[in-house]
Chains A and B, each alone.
Chain A
């Protein structure tokens, strides 16, 4: 954590992206999280992903709940509107915002307490509805802001910093996301930027509900020997099943792969995800196989990471609601109000 404000000056040699912004344009205020917090790495990955995607910052709406993770939207995309809502209820606010304006990109940032404990219901229902969003849970298994209590994703048997043992079974958000119909499901690790940045890019450009569970060690309260969400533990037990490369629409494909090694998956906006399979037996197009694979590996103490499931033909809540292309928030009175003559007819029918 630092108290020194970042100078707003941009170095003239900073590289601009396709829409003329440098990486600095995607940064936010200085983080107030603990030094070494996994969440700051995720913020950096979000900055990198948005810059690489040529997203204009103001076209993103970033929403969060309450907790350390939910504070982070203040630390990236400073030119985007953000909304730090109430604890566990970001998904409903994001859903409403999305209904009002389908043209923006929605980034939901939450934590394990926020999404698995207090907010499990909203987490589940937003995914069920297929809200188009990138929903990132910064998962450290612990309540940081209130100093170290277990959250609902803490593994049974894991120890808190003060020595208490958690006896409750953990909630596996990835498993729930798969069951409830999320169309892009991934897990990653805050310490693995190479894996995380493309996963975020894929999620941001996905046509439906995208969920990424990012294990993000809490350096202050959950980075000790008894934790299953520490840097050391995750590094030792990480089982990456895939790597993805993200290619913007029309980008030239340069790297060559042996046949069968790579699956190219077009996204709805013309971008292409190149999915490199690291495990020959893993199939990211089969929701139920993904669930079973994950459970088998979890039983062996392995944390499966990578793009776990993808439905490239995903649709979203606006398709189910059959809403017009113009954002609802932009419709004017003449479009919305049936008018005086119609009201006369309505009156007549009520007599």
Chain B
């Protein structure tokens, strides 16, 4: 029988029952590999449920550092009888099945082409612990111990991880070490080891940090100076404000008084969340809300107000599968159009597309600056894949000289100087961005009545055509200004000159990089452009113009980004080829490469389309 042999390059998947305490054990396993200098990218695949339903944790071990989902499973840790058959079917031929052999399972339920390792986990745990909860929790640690021997992981790494996690709680440290060794001992005595899959110490992790995108975003908001957050719980965004709260309690408390330099409100709904943030933005605080697609739908009237009344707000959309309630615990990039043009009338909004937790941090802080500079809603568009999964990424950096860009805010002295010439909605600088005043600035000057109705440049209610046109043209000019201020695209040229290009963004990034390398190995060369924001800067038009055809890779059914490129830049649609992945799982390199190959064959493009 074939045995999959791989060192530092395999996928192991844990099939668990949610609510069983497996999450922390699985994370421990992933961290241990990382501590051996080997990159991992784990993904939680979980139901919209709290207890009793299947949940999976898929860990890709990859010394080369590819953090996109690979596809396929080399080893399954089958801890959930409910999903046994489906889990077994997922294993690659020649792969491995690890299971709890405490209860006999009929031979017919195994696969002949899969290597089986049975460990009586329940028996071991029940013999060692009397308490039901302890039995359950330590069973998880016992299987991690067993796996550590099977995959050749270093026991000392675990010891260090436990020591860090249970600092000051030595009793817990000992208990966990004991459970780990129970698992290790069982394998050492009863099972041949290591398997064909092995982890070998390497030096491929470097100074990278391991964090989820939602936490990284919230840290970016702490650094960027957000003081007001309002939110309504919704998967997969709830951990953004929750992490913000955690960081604020650590870094935003006045040491002298214990008072908070922040305010977080869990509102009654998304309408109130965005309303709160708009009120705070209007009054000069940096404020954000975090939500997902359904929340965006609820917020749209308010988003139109913020756009038209020109109030800085930052909105995080951690996208999930739509439409409607859709797939709440699966990932997609399907809110692009609903965010870019949110609300009635001619509205357009700034969108940022971070690729990983590192950029989540960067874009969160950038969004606060952009919102103040442009006096408009700014969306940070992440998704469940980067939001809720820990990812290895570049460490966070903050330039100590970096100032907050608070935009064009008139001081009392400036108002005295400007006198009657001040007009809240007047374009004095030619960039479409007017000057604003904050409430309470000046006893007699600069006050105005903010409203969603049309007004003249002096904020006076007006439905005159000329006033309306002045305002709408100015807003369009402001949007053009935005294109130069937002994070610019990252271009990655192919190794050889090519007439083919690809445009991608957000969480597609690691899978795309891997697919490009795979294709290059087959002599298919493609120049790549990673969008980081909307509106599109001129470099996007230039990139498309420089290629005969450009693939647009995205995680939705309707090719929303492609539509935006066609409509905003006036591109011939025939030149933009769709690569669409939207089943709710994160896009992977195998899929992208296959889709591109298929298109090239169908379009009769030579496999090596050198220019």
State the A residues within 8 Å of B (CB): 56-59, 61, 63, 73-74, 78-86, 89, 91-101, 103-104, 121-122, 125, 129, 317-318, 321-325, 327-331, 333, 335-340, 342-343, 346-347, 350-351
Contacts and interface: CB of A to CB of B under 8 A. Distances in A.
Contacts of B252: 336, 338
Given A56-B443, A339-B398, 15 more contacts: A81-B450, A82-B448, A85-B452, A93-B279, A96-B275, A100-B282, A101-B284, A101-B440, A322-B258, A324-B254, A329-B283, A329-B284, A343-B396, A346-B219, A350-B210
Given A323-B263, A340-B400, A347-B396, A84 B453 contact: yes
A114 B440 CA distance: 26
A330 B443 CA distance: 18
Contacts of B259: 322-325
Contact of B448 (A81, A98, A329): A81
Contacts of B251: 338, 342
B395 A347 contact: yes
B86 to A, nearest CB: 34
Given A56-B443, A343-B396, A86 B280 contact: no
Q: Which 4 A-B pairs have the closest CB atoms?
A: A96-B279, A92-B275, A100-B285, A329-B284
A34 B439 CA distance: 30
A96 B258 contact: no
A338 B222 CA distance: 8
- Residue of A325, A339, A351 contacting most chain B CB atoms (<10 Å): A351
A81 B438 CA distance: 8
B441 interface: yes
B449 A82 contact: yes
- Residue of A86, A93, A122 contacting most chain B CB atoms (<10 Å): A93
Contact of A350 (B209, B273, B277): B209
B67 interface: no
Given A61-B439, A96-B279, A338-B222, A328 B262 contact: yes
B283 A96 contact: yes
B404 A99 contact: no
Nearest to B284: A329
Interface string B219-256: 10011110110100000000000000000000110100
A74 B448 CA distance: 9
B265 A99 contact: yes
B121 interface: no
A59 B275 contact: no
Nearest to A19: B443
12 contacts: A83-B309, A86-B452, A89-B271, A93-B282, A95-B276, A96-B285, A99-B276, A323-B260, A323-B261, A336-B225, A340-B397, A343-B223
Interface residues of B, number: 73
Given A85-B305, A322-B260, A95 B447 contact: no
B142 to A, nearest CB: 26
B280 A96 contact: yes
A57 B441 CA distance: 11
Contact of A122 (B227, B275, B281, B438): B275
Contact of A351 (B210, B262, B264): B210
Contact of B228 (A57, A85, A99): A99
A104 B265 contact: no
Nearest to A329: B284
- Residue of A74, A122, A321, A337 contacting most chain B CB atoms (<10 Å): A337
A290 B119 CA distance: 69
B31 to A, nearest CB: 9
A85 B439 contact: no
B449 A89 contact: no
Nearest to A104: B440
B447 A351 contact: no
B297 to A, nearest CB: 15
A295 to B, nearest CB: 26
Given A58-B442, A82-B450, A337 B301 contact: no
Given A82-B450, A96-B276, A336-B227, A343 B398 contact: yes
A346 B275 contact: no
Given A57-B443, A328-B285, A329-B285, A86 B301 contact: yes
- Residue of A104, A318, A347 contacting most chain B CB atoms (<10 Å): A347
A80 B273 CA distance: 25
B522 interface: no
A122 B439 contact: no
A281 B446 CA distance: 50
Contacts of B442: 58
A93 B228 CA distance: 12
B440 A61 contact: yes
B211 interface: yes
B219 A96 contact: no
Interface in B12-58: none
Contacts of B302: 86, 89
Contacts of A328: 227-228, 261-263, 280, 285
Contacts of A350: 209-211, 395
Contact of A125 (B209, B210, B272, B404): B272
B207 interface: yes
B589 interface: no
B45 to A, nearest CB: 23
Nearest to A62: B449
B105 interface: no
B263 A85 contact: no
B179 to A, nearest CB: 25
A324 B257 contact: yes
Nearest to B309: A83
A74 B211 CA distance: 49
B228 A324 contact: no
B325 interface: no
Contacts of B208: 351
A59 B262 contact: no
A81 B284 CA distance: 13
A335 B222 CA distance: 11
B209 A103 contact: no
A85 B461 CA distance: 14
Contacts of A99: 228, 263, 265, 276, 279-280, 285
B137 interface: no
B188 to A, nearest CB: 30
A317 B451 CA distance: 26
A7 to B, nearest CB: 17
B269 interface: yes
B280 A100 contact: yes
B268 interface: yes
A238 B62 CA distance: 79
B287 interface: yes
Contacts of B448: 81-82
Contacts of B440: 58-59, 61, 81, 101, 103-104
A329 B275 contact: no
A346 B396 contact: yes
B267 interface: yes
Nearest to B285: A100
A301 B210 CA distance: 67
B414 to A, nearest CB: 15
Contacts of B223: 337-338, 343
- Residue of B208, B269, B279, B449 contacting most chain A CB atoms (<10 Å): B279
B386 interface: no
B268 A122 contact: yes
A337 B309 CA distance: 29
B403 interface: yes
B227 A329 contact: yes
A56 B442 CA distance: 10
A92 B225 CA distance: 22
Contact of B268 (A82, A83, A125, A338): A125
